[in-house]
Amino acid sequence: MTGASASCAMHALGPISVPVWPNDTGITHIDPMVCVVSFSDNEAIRKIAEPKLLEAAEVAREAEPDRWPGGGGAKIRDIGEWPCAAMTLLHKRAQEAYRRLTKEQEAHIDDCWASVYEPGDFIGPHAHRRTNVSVVYHLTPPDPEDRENFDGALGIVDPRVARCCPTKPGYVTTQLYPPLDPGTMVLFPSFVTHYVTPHRSKSPRISIAWNIDGKEIPGNVADEPLL
Ligand SMILES: [Fe+2]
Protein backbone atom coordinates (compact mmCIF):
# COMPACT_ATOMS: atom_id res chain seq x y z
CA MET A 1 0.00 0.00 0.00
CA THR A 2 1.31 3.42 -0.88
CA GLY A 3 -0.19 6.87 -0.80
CA ALA A 4 0.57 10.53 -1.24
CA SER A 5 0.98 12.80 1.75
CA ALA A 6 -2.29 12.91 3.68
CA SER A 7 -1.41 15.52 6.27
CA CYS A 8 -4.30 17.88 5.39
CA ALA A 9 -6.91 15.26 4.52
CA MET A 10 -10.01 14.49 6.54
CA HIS A 11 -11.25 10.97 7.17
CA ALA A 12 -14.82 9.85 7.88
CA LEU A 13 -15.07 7.88 11.10
CA GLY A 14 -18.68 6.85 11.60
CA PRO A 15 -20.75 10.01 12.18
CA ILE A 16 -17.70 12.26 12.58
CA SER A 17 -14.84 13.37 10.41
CA VAL A 18 -11.31 13.60 11.78
CA PRO A 19 -8.05 14.88 10.31
CA VAL A 20 -5.69 12.15 9.20
CA TRP A 21 -2.96 14.13 10.95
CA PRO A 22 -4.28 16.63 13.52
CA ASN A 23 -2.49 19.99 13.52
CA ASP A 24 -1.28 19.69 17.09
CA THR A 25 0.23 16.25 16.59
CA GLY A 26 4.00 16.02 16.66
CA ILE A 27 6.52 13.21 16.55
CA THR A 28 8.67 13.16 19.67
CA HIS A 29 12.06 11.47 19.89
CA ILE A 30 12.47 9.66 23.22
CA ASP A 31 15.79 8.34 21.89
CA PRO A 32 17.64 9.12 18.65
CA MET A 33 16.18 5.86 17.30
CA VAL A 34 12.75 5.72 18.99
CA CYS A 35 9.82 8.10 18.46
CA VAL A 36 6.30 8.40 19.82
CA VAL A 37 3.16 10.14 18.56
CA SER A 38 0.00 10.52 20.63
CA PHE A 39 -3.45 10.69 19.01
CA SER A 40 -6.23 12.13 21.18
CA ASP A 41 -9.12 10.57 19.22
CA ASN A 42 -8.24 6.96 20.05
CA GLU A 43 -11.58 6.38 21.77
CA ALA A 44 -13.51 7.02 18.55
CA ILE A 45 -11.18 4.65 16.70
CA ARG A 46 -11.36 2.00 19.41
CA LYS A 47 -15.17 1.95 19.45
CA ILE A 48 -15.22 0.97 15.80
CA ALA A 49 -12.15 -1.28 15.56
CA GLU A 50 -12.13 -3.14 18.86
CA PRO A 51 -15.31 -5.28 18.41
CA LYS A 52 -14.13 -6.39 14.96
CA LEU A 53 -10.65 -7.23 16.23
CA LEU A 54 -11.98 -9.18 19.22
CA GLU A 55 -14.24 -11.19 16.92
CA ALA A 56 -11.34 -11.92 14.56
CA ALA A 57 -9.12 -12.88 17.51
CA GLU A 58 -11.73 -15.38 18.68
CA VAL A 59 -11.68 -17.02 15.25
CA ALA A 60 -7.86 -17.05 15.25
CA ARG A 61 -7.71 -18.68 18.67
CA GLU A 62 -10.26 -21.33 17.71
CA ALA A 63 -8.15 -22.15 14.66
CA GLU A 64 -5.03 -22.48 16.79
CA PRO A 65 -6.10 -23.89 20.17
CA ASP A 66 -2.58 -25.02 21.19
CA ARG A 67 -0.96 -21.68 20.45
CA TRP A 68 2.10 -20.88 22.60
CA PRO A 69 1.51 -17.86 24.90
CA GLY A 70 4.96 -16.57 23.85
CA GLY A 71 3.85 -16.08 20.28
CA GLY A 72 2.53 -12.57 20.85
CA GLY A 73 -1.21 -13.13 21.22
CA ALA A 74 -3.75 -13.86 18.52
CA LYS A 75 -2.50 -12.42 15.23
CA ILE A 76 -4.94 -10.93 12.74
CA ARG A 77 -3.07 -10.62 9.50
CA ASP A 78 -5.69 -9.45 6.99
CA ILE A 79 -6.45 -6.03 8.50
CA GLY A 80 -4.90 -4.34 5.46
CA GLU A 81 -7.89 -5.56 3.45
CA TRP A 82 -10.64 -4.71 5.94
CA PRO A 83 -13.32 -2.26 4.76
CA CYS A 84 -13.10 -0.56 8.16
CA ALA A 85 -12.93 3.23 8.47
CA ALA A 86 -11.01 3.06 11.75
CA MET A 87 -8.42 0.65 10.41
CA THR A 88 -8.02 2.65 7.20
CA LEU A 89 -7.39 5.78 9.27
CA LEU A 90 -4.70 3.98 11.26
CA HIS A 91 -3.03 2.76 8.06
CA LYS A 92 -2.99 6.35 6.77
CA ARG A 93 -1.57 7.66 10.05
CA ALA A 94 1.18 5.03 10.13
CA GLN A 95 2.14 5.96 6.57
CA GLU A 96 2.06 9.68 7.33
CA ALA A 97 4.18 9.16 10.43
CA TYR A 98 6.71 7.29 8.29
CA ARG A 99 6.83 10.11 5.74
CA ARG A 100 7.23 12.78 8.41
CA LEU A 101 9.94 10.84 10.19
CA THR A 102 11.99 9.80 7.17
CA LYS A 103 11.18 12.72 4.81
CA GLU A 104 10.59 10.09 2.12
CA GLN A 105 7.78 10.58 -0.42
CA GLU A 106 6.44 7.04 -0.39
CA ALA A 107 5.37 4.91 2.55
CA HIS A 108 4.89 1.33 1.44
CA ILE A 109 3.27 -0.97 4.00
CA ASP A 110 5.18 -4.22 3.62
CA ASP A 111 3.21 -5.98 6.34
CA CYS A 112 0.59 -5.10 8.95
CA TRP A 113 -1.25 -7.06 11.59
CA ALA A 114 -3.15 -6.75 14.84
CA SER A 115 -2.17 -8.57 18.02
CA VAL A 116 -4.75 -9.38 20.68
CA TYR A 117 -3.19 -10.49 23.97
CA GLU A 118 -5.05 -12.44 26.64
CA PRO A 119 -3.61 -12.76 30.18
CA GLY A 120 -0.29 -14.59 30.06
CA ASP A 121 0.49 -13.75 26.44
CA PHE A 122 3.88 -12.22 25.65
CA ILE A 123 6.51 -12.17 22.92
CA GLY A 124 10.27 -12.52 23.29
CA PRO A 125 12.97 -10.26 21.82
CA HIS A 126 12.91 -10.04 18.05
CA ALA A 127 13.36 -7.65 15.13
CA HIS A 128 11.68 -7.19 11.75
CA ARG A 129 14.12 -7.94 8.99
CA ARG A 130 12.83 -6.41 5.76
CA THR A 131 11.85 -2.79 6.22
CA ASN A 132 13.18 0.59 7.29
CA VAL A 133 10.73 1.41 10.09
CA SER A 134 8.35 -0.54 12.33
CA VAL A 135 5.30 1.11 13.86
CA VAL A 136 3.17 -0.02 16.80
CA TYR A 137 -0.16 1.58 17.78
CA HIS A 138 -1.68 0.99 21.21
CA LEU A 139 -5.43 0.74 20.57
CA THR A 140 -6.33 -0.95 23.88
CA PRO A 141 -3.31 -1.11 26.16
CA PRO A 142 -3.24 -2.83 29.57
CA ASP A 143 -5.02 -1.28 32.55
CA PRO A 144 -3.25 1.80 34.01
CA GLU A 145 -1.92 -0.01 37.09
CA ASP A 146 -0.45 -2.73 34.88
CA ARG A 147 1.09 -0.14 32.58
CA GLU A 148 2.82 1.38 35.62
CA ASN A 149 4.36 -2.02 36.38
CA PHE A 150 5.42 -2.58 32.73
CA ASP A 151 3.09 -5.57 32.43
CA GLY A 152 2.00 -6.10 28.84
CA ALA A 153 4.51 -3.43 27.87
CA LEU A 154 6.36 -2.99 24.60
CA GLY A 155 10.02 -2.96 25.58
CA ILE A 156 13.17 -2.22 23.61
CA VAL A 157 16.53 -3.76 24.39
CA ASP A 158 19.17 -3.09 21.77
CA PRO A 159 22.85 -2.05 21.91
CA ARG A 160 22.26 0.50 19.14
CA VAL A 161 19.60 2.34 21.18
CA ALA A 162 21.34 4.91 23.39
CA ARG A 163 18.81 4.79 26.23
CA CYS A 164 19.43 1.06 26.60
CA CYS A 165 23.12 1.81 27.14
CA PRO A 166 23.32 4.65 29.71
CA THR A 167 26.66 3.64 31.23
CA LYS A 168 28.68 2.52 28.19
CA PRO A 169 27.75 2.86 24.50
CA GLY A 170 26.92 -0.49 22.94
CA TYR A 171 26.47 -2.26 26.26
CA VAL A 172 22.83 -2.86 27.18
CA THR A 173 22.26 -2.30 30.90
CA THR A 174 18.60 -1.25 30.88
CA GLN A 175 15.42 -1.53 28.84
CA LEU A 176 13.48 1.25 27.22
CA TYR A 177 9.70 1.23 27.70
CA PRO A 178 7.98 3.83 25.47
CA PRO A 179 4.65 5.28 26.69
CA LEU A 180 1.85 2.74 26.64
CA ASP A 181 -1.16 5.05 26.81
CA PRO A 182 -4.19 4.57 24.53
CA GLY A 183 -3.61 6.22 21.16
CA THR A 184 0.18 6.14 21.35
CA MET A 185 2.06 5.24 18.19
CA VAL A 186 5.68 4.10 18.59
CA LEU A 187 8.18 4.14 15.72
CA PHE A 188 11.65 2.59 15.61
CA PRO A 189 14.04 1.12 13.04
CA SER A 190 12.85 -2.36 12.12
CA PHE A 191 16.25 -3.81 13.09
CA VAL A 192 15.80 -2.73 16.72
CA THR A 193 15.23 -5.64 19.10
CA HIS A 194 11.91 -5.37 20.93
CA TYR A 195 9.49 -7.54 22.92
CA VAL A 196 6.28 -7.47 24.96
CA THR A 197 6.22 -8.46 28.63
CA PRO A 198 3.47 -10.82 29.88
CA HIS A 199 0.03 -9.26 29.76
CA ARG A 200 -1.79 -9.39 33.11
CA SER A 201 -4.97 -7.30 32.76
CA LYS A 202 -8.23 -9.23 32.41
CA SER A 203 -9.29 -7.23 29.39
CA PRO A 204 -7.53 -7.96 26.09
CA ARG A 205 -4.52 -5.87 25.06
CA ILE A 206 -4.80 -4.82 21.41
CA SER A 207 -2.01 -3.32 19.33
CA ILE A 208 -1.63 -2.75 15.61
CA ALA A 209 1.76 -3.08 13.91
CA TRP A 210 3.16 -2.08 10.54
CA ASN A 211 6.46 -2.66 8.79
CA ILE A 212 6.96 0.26 6.38
CA ASP A 213 9.56 1.13 3.78
CA GLY A 214 10.05 3.80 1.15
CA LYS A 215 9.88 1.23 -1.61
CA GLU A 216 8.09 -1.99 -2.41
CA ILE A 217 10.15 -4.98 -1.30
CA PRO A 218 9.99 -8.26 -3.27
CA GLY A 219 9.82 -11.65 -1.57
CA ASN A 220 8.06 -13.13 1.43
CA VAL A 221 6.87 -10.56 3.98
CA ALA A 222 6.63 -13.07 6.82
CA ASP A 223 9.29 -12.92 9.51
CA GLU A 224 10.44 -16.20 10.97
CA PRO A 225 8.08 -17.07 13.86
CA LEU A 226 9.46 -17.18 17.38
CA LEU A 227 9.38 -20.87 18.29
FE1 LIG B 1 7.64 -7.01 16.62
Tens digit of each residue's pLDDT (9 = 90 or more) over 33-76: 999 999 999 999 999 999 999 999 999 999 988 889 999 999 99
The three-state DSSP-derived secondary structure of 75-98 is: EECCHHHCCCHHHHHHHHHHHHHH
- Cα–Cα dist 140/137, whole Å: 9
pTM above 0.85, yes or no: yes
How many angstroms separate the alpha carbon of residue 115 from the centre of ligand 1?
10
Residue 23 belongs to some domain of the structure? yes
pLDDT higher than 60, residue 26: yes
Task: Flag whether 206 is in a domain.
Answer: yes
Give the domain extent around 19.
10-213
Q: Which amino acid is at 20?
A: V
Find the CATH number of the domain harbouring 37: 2.60.120.620
Element at 108 (helix H, strand E): strand 108-117
Does residue 223 fall inside a structural domain? Answer: no
* CA 15 / ligand 1 centre spacing (Å): 33
Q: What is the 3-class SS of 24-73, one letter each residue?
A: CCCCEEEECCEEEEECCCHHHHHHHHHHHHHHHHHHHHHHCCCCCCCECC
Domain assignment present for 218:
no
Centroid of ligand 1 to alpha carbon of 127 (angstroms): 6
Q: How confident is the model at residue 195 (pLDDT cuts 50, 70, 90)?
A: very high
Is residue 155 in a domain? yes
Q: Which pLDDT score is estimated for 141?
A: 97
Q: What phi and psi values does residue 154 have, to the nearest 5 degrees? A: -75, 120
219 in a domain, yes or no?
no
The predicted structure's pLDDT at residue 220:
83
Distance 191 CA to ligand 1 centre (A): 10
Instruction: Give the model's confidence band at 226: pLDDT under 50 very low, under 70 low, under 90 confident, else very high.
Output: low
Indicate the pLDDT class of residue 3, thresholds 50, 70 and 90. very low
CA of 44 to the centre of ligand 1 (A): 25
What is the whole-number distance in angstroms between the Cα of residue 17 and the centre of ligand 1? 31
Q: Report the largest interatomic distance among the alpha carbons of the chain, rounded to a whole angstrom.
A: 52
Domain tally, the chain: 1
CA of 57 to the centre of ligand 1 (A): 18
Distance from Cα 16 to the centre of ligand 1, integer Å? 32
Give the whole-angstrom CA distance, residue 223 versus residue 100.
Answer: 26
**Does 4 fall in a domain?**
no
In a domain, 227, yes or no: no
